Structure 1
Amino acid sequence: MDDRKLLAMAEDIKKNSYSPYSKFRVGAAVLAKSGKVFTGVNIENASFGATVCAERTAVFKAVSEGEREIAAVAISSDSDEYTFPCGICRQVLREFGDDDTKVICGNKNGEFTVFRLGELLPNAFFKF
């Protein structure tokens, strides 16, 4: 799938973000190796530890539908800066992806940069 198309899906879904505390909307689109795409948004909670990032929402949706291998993820927010996955999301992505999993980091202007997960999370914990 084209990087721009995956990013557009992330941009579109962020309208569903539940972010009343931070006001920082994030959308993510995960491309499974099967070709299916799963989207997610950040979902905040008054108990901040219960907040879930958009990337993990999308990954968990994919896994709950039987997917176990991720080819790419695109992330979009309302920021002028590129939006990167947090450390926890990087580890979750690594659980179902590999060093070559594509990470497309976008901004509110539709601009993006692309990394490989191995660049963003060297020396990750691996499946045992």
Structure 2
Amino acid sequence: MDADLRTRLTAAATAVRQHAHAPYSGFAVGAALADEHGRIHVGCNVENAAYPQGLCAEAVALGALVAAGGRAIRAVALVAGQGRPATPCGGCRQKLREFAGDAVPVHCRSADGAVLDTTMGALLPLSFGPEALA
């Protein structure tokens, strides 16, 4: 991921994280996705009193991408946690994989600046994607 895109995605994820609804866990997450048109789509986590009914930030951002007509993820940024950057949960890894190939860069950053740069393939090795159904 080029430095400019990484900076823009991280800034967008950091900004949207401020709107997270996380009264139960206190763990605010912001996500930003770049689509095939160069647009950035954001999402934050939205918890619910019926705890399993909440939405992960990545799923919210993915919904925004699809609603805007995007069909491919070119890069991902996630901002969450302290000290150690959080990575997408297993369910979100699969959701992202539907629109992102193995080489798509994933930039994870903690709220206090620790960084982990990886790829979809490293996060979800031997994944099951749309091409498996072809």
Cross-structure match for 1:83: 86
TM-score by length of 2: 0.91
What amino acid is aligned across from residue 88 of structure 1 in structure 2? G
Map 1:16-31; keep pairs closer than 5 Å: 16-31=19-34
Map 1:45-60; keep pairs closer than 5 Å: 45-60=48-63
Q: Percent identity?
A: 37
Say whether the 8 Å CA contact 2:83–2:114 is kept in structure 1.
Answer: no
Correspondent of 1:66 among 69, 72, 76? 69
Displacement over 2 Å in runs of 4+: none
Cross-structure match for 1:101: 104
5+ long unaligned stretches in structure 2 = none
Once the two structures are superposed, what CA deviation does each residue of 1:2-58 show, in whole Å capped at 9, x if it has no partner?
312211111111010000100110001111121000000000011112111101110
Cross-structure match for 2:10: 7
Correspondent of 1:42 among 45, 58, 61? 45
Aligned residues: 128
3-state SS of 1:29 partner: strand
The RMSD of aligned alpha carbons is 1.1
Cross-structure match for 1:124: 127
TM-score by length of 1: 0.95
